[in-house]
């Protein structure tokens, strides 16, 4: 039995290793280093102290690095500090009068942080466990070890049985037989017999087999122990883009402030998206696709020649817009902003209509939503574009992002996927409650959720969430399934509230803004099209960003966990019955031997 158990375990572990190698090829991290004046790509594990490394937007920083060269570099340190704030980094030599926290030093970047925008170059100071991140305990280690907790609880039950049964067996056999050494050995054998001998092999085999089966269903399990949490997940938090709606969006309208078609608005947005050095998103891709419109290729090529980038402030999930500074052929600089309507509107003091700059009226917000309100209700995504002339400036700061001139709007079509409604129904049938956590406007989220069957009777915005106490949020989060206009930090707070209510929470994310919420969830789920930093953080990687794939994964996870429980219950009860019978028989046989000896003595006398 032991030999068979070992062989089965070896085969299953070899198969699990093969699956893990396939995943490594999917998300294997390579880094760019400069050696002997040449750029080379090497695996992240080959990085050593002293290497000169280069990185850019969307990369996950692979080591602790002293910066030597930067270009508009902005970093998210959520993996280190837990805060969603984005910090700008520089390469200048620092001199502080007072001691500063190491995470606040602007010429250092740390392992596991994420490059939001720009690019940088620096010297590796520490790798692996010697880094700041390497010295931390993995976030939510208690939650991530839920399977080990379950296995430990089974072991403790067995130990309690042994603690009670072994002394009783020892005393009964010792008193009746008088052979205390043999009684002790027999008591120990009883303790060994209680334990299901193939339990380790069965657990490994079930997990490995489940992982392979999920791999065939477009789901790869990076951490086998996450299977248990995946199977008992009862709440799934996710963004709507790419999950309920298509991965890409289409630019439908480019309008002035009154809703009339205006190519100047599109030109400004094109310059902003072209020179934005952050991670590309569906909005930027849709805008940049305009260069392929018939007869417009030369126009956009000439536009990029006439306007050169000088500086930028990248997209921030709190500010919800991106600013780019460009200089025209005459040397004048223009600040171009595009992003969330409400946030840009709050920074505008004028509007532009047919080339004329006019003061903004007091009821400007109402006027704006009269123009775009119907499109938002139809589920279209609408962003605003604003501009400002800033003389011959070469640099911009957040203080420059005011007194802007509102130029117009861009509208994008973000249609729900055809099977999204069926997938949501299937998840509900599995008792998994889908909750939408999105940064989009309320009207868009409301429209899409209604189309796919997610209850939108109650909807909570980020502003409303900030006004609630933790106790109030724990109650509201049970009744609400759609949350809109959220920042990464607010997503973390929602996931935490659900966990405190006793739910096993899964989070499906694909962007750098999802990493803080992923770290907070019980089950970290990502997709193969996600940024490297998100895939690296996830326990489960979906090869398709489709809820149908997720449904199959949940079913397989539950089947795997149920099989393990069945084996444990059957073998534990069977072993206990067998051992109990042996104990009773052994005590009875000792008593019978004593009676036989007495009878023989009487017979001989």
Q: Domains in the chain and their CATH numbers?
A: 47-135 (2.70.150.10), 250-413 (3.40.1110.10)
Residue whose pair of structure tokens reads 């933790």 in the numeric block: 470
Distance between CA atoms of 339 and 324, rounded to whole angstroms? 12
Distance between CA atoms of 586 and 595, rounded to whole angstroms? 14
Q: What are phi and psi of 527, to 5 degrees?
A: -130, 160
Per the model's pLDDT, the better-predicted residue between 146 and 119 turns out to be 119
Given a cut of 70, is residue 196 above it in pLDDT? no
What's the confidence (pLDDT) of residue 582? 67
What's the confidence (pLDDT) of residue 200? 67
- With a CB cutoff of 8 Å and minimum separation 6, the contacts of 214 are 220, 221, 552, 553, 556, 557
**Residues annotated as part of the active site:** 239
Read off the pLDDT of residues 585-600 as tens digits, 9 standing for 90 and up: 666 655 444 544 443 4
Per the model's pLDDT, the better-predicted residue between 37 and 82 turns out to be 37
- Residue 280: pLDDT band by 50, 70, 90 thresholds? low
What's the confidence (pLDDT) of residue 449? 81
> Residue 66, CB half-sphere, CA atoms under 13 Å: how many?
9
- With a CB cutoff of 8 Å and minimum separation 6, the contacts of 591 are 176
Express the helix, strand and coil content of the chain in percent, nearest 5 each: 50, 25, 30
Q: Which residues pair with 124 in a beta bridge?
A: 65
H/E element, 382: strand 381-389
CA dihedral 543, 548, 553, 554 (to 10 degrees): 150
User: Which string of DSSP letters, residue by residue, matches 544-578?
Assistant: S--HHHHHHHHHHHHHHHHHHHHHHHHHHHHHHHH
Q: What are phi and psi of 379, to 5 degrees?
A: 90, 10
- With a CB cutoff of 8 Å and minimum separation 6, the contacts of 298 are none
Q: List alpha helices for 239-380, DSSP H.
A: 263-275, 282-288, 297-306, 341-345, 364-377
Per the model's pLDDT, the better-predicted residue between 12 and 229 turns out to be 229
- With a CB cutoff of 8 Å and minimum separation 6, the contacts of 215 are 19, 22, 221
Residue 385's nearest CA partner among 409, 361, 365 is: 409
Most confident of 312-326, 347-361, 502-516: 347-361
Q: List alpha helices for 400-545, DSSP H.
A: 420-429, 442-452, 462-466, 470-479, 488-500, 515-520, 532-537
What's the confidence (pLDDT) of residue 185? 79
Per the model's pLDDT, the better-predicted residue between 338 and 214 turns out to be 338
Which token pair is 115?
Answer: 């490059």
What's the confidence (pLDDT) of residue 66? 93
Residue 46's nearest CA partner among 24, 25, 63 is: 63
- CA angle, residues 388, 392, 393, in degrees to nearest 5: 75
Given a cut of 60, is residue 97 above it in pLDDT? no
What's the confidence (pLDDT) of residue 410? 94
Coil, helix or strand at residue 433: strand
What's the confidence (pLDDT) of residue 501? 92
Q: What is the DSSP letter of 137?
A: P
What's the confidence (pLDDT) of residue 138? 44
What's the confidence (pLDDT) of residue 600? 40
CA dihedral 158, 163, 167, 170 (to 10 degrees): 30
- Residue 292: pLDDT band by 50, 70, 90 thresholds? confident
H/E element, 313: strand 308-313
What's the confidence (pLDDT) of residue 27? 47
Kindly tell me the burial class for residue 164, based on how many C-beta atoms sit within 10 Å of its own C-beta (0-12, 13-18, 19 or more).
exposed
What's the confidence (pLDDT) of residue 139? 43
Kindly tell me the burial class for residue 421, based on how many C-beta atoms sit within 10 Å of its own C-beta (0-12, 13-18, 19 or more).
middle
Residue 275's nearest CA partner among 315, 319, 216 is: 315
What's the confidence (pLDDT) of residue 243? 66
Most confident of 26-30, 241-245, 445-449: 445-449
Mean pLDDT of 257-279: 89
Decide if 190 contacts 582 (C-beta within 8 A).
yes
Mean pLDDT of the chain: 78
Percent of the chain with pLDDT over 70: 76
Distance between CA atoms of 307 and 271, rounded to whole angstroms? 8
Read off the pLDDT of residues 199-223 as tens digits, 9 standing for 90 and up: 666 776 777 777 777 777 777 777 6
What's the confidence (pLDDT) of residue 297? 84
Per the model's pLDDT, the better-predicted residue between 217 and 485 turns out to be 485
Using the Cα atoms of residue 286, residue 288, residue 290 and residue 293 in order, give the sign of their dihedral. Answer: negative
321-327 vs 540-542, strand pairing mode: unpaired
Residue 117's nearest CA partner among 29, 52, 57 is: 57
Read off the pLDDT of residues 533-549 as tens digits, 9 standing for 90 and up: 667 777 788 777 666 77
- CA angle, residues 100, 106, 107, in degrees to nearest 5: 115
Percent of the chain with pLDDT over 90: 17
- Residue 604: pLDDT band by 50, 70, 90 thresholds? very low
- Residue 99: pLDDT band by 50, 70, 90 thresholds? low
- Distance between start and end Cα atoms, the chain: 51
Mean pLDDT of 30-53: 87
Most confident of 95-104, 168-177, 312-321, 560-569: 312-321
- CA angle, residues 461, 462, 466, in degrees to nearest 5: 120
Distance between CA atoms of 194 and 521, rounded to whole angstroms? 37
Question: What is the side-by-side order of every strand in the sheet holding 235-238?
Answer: 219-221, 540-542, 523-527, 505-508, 235-238, 433-437, 482-484, 459-461
What's the confidence (pLDDT) of residue 124? 93
Given a cut of 90, is residue 325 above it in pLDDT? yes
Read off the pLDDT of residues 396-450 as tens digits, 9 standing for 90 and up: 888 899 999 999 999 988 766 666 777 788 888 888 888 988 877 787 778 778 7
Coil, helix or strand at residue 469: coil
Distance between CA atoms of 173 and 184, rounded to whole angstroms? 9
Distance between CA atoms of 132 and 101, rounded to whole angstroms? 12
Mean pLDDT of 458-462: 86
- Residue 198: pLDDT band by 50, 70, 90 thresholds? low
Coil, helix or strand at residue 312: strand
Which token pair is 327?
Answer: 């200089």
Distance between CA atoms of 540 and 525, rounded to whole angstroms? 5
Distance between CA atoms of 410 and 255, rounded to whole angstroms? 6
What's the confidence (pLDDT) of residue 224? 65
Given a cut of 80, is residue 257 above it in pLDDT? yes
Mean pLDDT of 32-46: 85
């Amino acid at each position: 039995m032991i030999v068979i158990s070992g062989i089965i375990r070896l085969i299953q572990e070899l198969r699990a290793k093969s699956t893990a190698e396939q995943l490594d090829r999917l998300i294997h991290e390579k880094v760019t280093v400069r050696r002997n004046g040449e750029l080379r790509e090497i695996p992240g594990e080959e990085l050593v102290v002293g290497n000169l490394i280069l990185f850019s937007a969307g990369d996950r920083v692979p080591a602790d690095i002293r910066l030597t060269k930067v270009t508009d570099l902005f970093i998210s340190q959520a993996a280190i500090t837990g805060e969603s704030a984005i910090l700008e980094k520089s390469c200048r030599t620092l001199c502080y009068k007072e001691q500063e926290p190491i995470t606040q030093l602007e010429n250092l970047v740390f392992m596991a942080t994420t490059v939001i925008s720009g690019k940088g170059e620096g010297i590796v100071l520490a790798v692996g466990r010697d880094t700041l991140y390497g010295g931390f305990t993995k976030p939510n280690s208690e939650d991530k070890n839920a399977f080990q907790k379950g296995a430990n609880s089974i072991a403790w039950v067995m130990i309690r049985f042994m603690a009670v049964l072994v002394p009783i067996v020892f005393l009964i056999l010792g008193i009746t037989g008088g052979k205390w050494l043999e009684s002790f050995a027999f008591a120990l054998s009883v303790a060994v017999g209680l334990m299901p001998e193939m339990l380790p092999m069965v657990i490994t085999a079930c997990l490995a087999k489940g992982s392979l089966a999920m791999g065939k269903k477009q789901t790869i399990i990076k951490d086998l122990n996450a299977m248990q949490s995946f199977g008992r997940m009862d709440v799934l938090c996710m963004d709507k883009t790419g999950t309920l709606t298509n991965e890409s969006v289409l630019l439908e309208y480019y309008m002035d402030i009154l809703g009339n078609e205006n190519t100047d608005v599109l030109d400004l947005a094109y310059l902003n998206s072209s020179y934005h050095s952050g991670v590309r998103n569906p909005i930027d891709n849709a805008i940049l696709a305009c260069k392929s419109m018939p007869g417009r290729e030369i126009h956009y090529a000439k536009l990029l020649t006439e306007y050169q980038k000088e500086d930028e402030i990248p997209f921030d999930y709190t500010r919800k817009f991106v600013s780019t500074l460009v200089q025209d052929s005459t040397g004048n600089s223009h600040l171009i902003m595009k992003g969330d309507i409400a946030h840009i509107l709050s920074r505008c003091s004028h509007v532009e209509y047919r080339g004329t700059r006019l003061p903004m009226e007091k009821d400007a917000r109402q006027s704006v939503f009269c123009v775009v309100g119907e499109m938002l209700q139809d589920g279209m995504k609408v962003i605003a574009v604003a501009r400002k002339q800033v003389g011959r400036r070469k640099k911009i700061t957040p203080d420059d992002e005011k007194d802007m001139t509102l130029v117009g709007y861009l509208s994008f079509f973000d249609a729900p996927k055809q099977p999204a409604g069926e997938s949501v129904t299937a998840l509900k049938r599995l008792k998994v409650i889908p909750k939408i956590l999105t940064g989009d406007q309320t009207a868009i989220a409301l429209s899409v959720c209604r189309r796919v069957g997610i209850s939108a009777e109650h909807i909570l915005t980020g502003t409303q969430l900030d006004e609630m106490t933790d106790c109030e949020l724990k109650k509201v989060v049970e009744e609400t399934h759609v949350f809109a206009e959220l920042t990464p930090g607010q997503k973390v707070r929602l996931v935490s509230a659900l966990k405190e209510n006793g739910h096993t929470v899964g989070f499906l994310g694909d962007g750098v803004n999802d990493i803080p919420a992923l770290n907070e969830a019980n089950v970290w789920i990502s997709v193969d099209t996600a940024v490297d930093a998100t895939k690296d953080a996830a326990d489960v990687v979906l090869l398709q960003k489709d809820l149908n794939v997720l449904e199959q994964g949940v079913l397989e996870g539950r089947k795997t966990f149920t099989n393990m429980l069945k084996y444990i219950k059957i073998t534990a009860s069977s072993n206990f019955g067998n051992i109990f019978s042996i104990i009773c028989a052994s005590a009875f046989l000792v008593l019978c031997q004593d009676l036989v000896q007495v009878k023989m003595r009487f017979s001989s006398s």
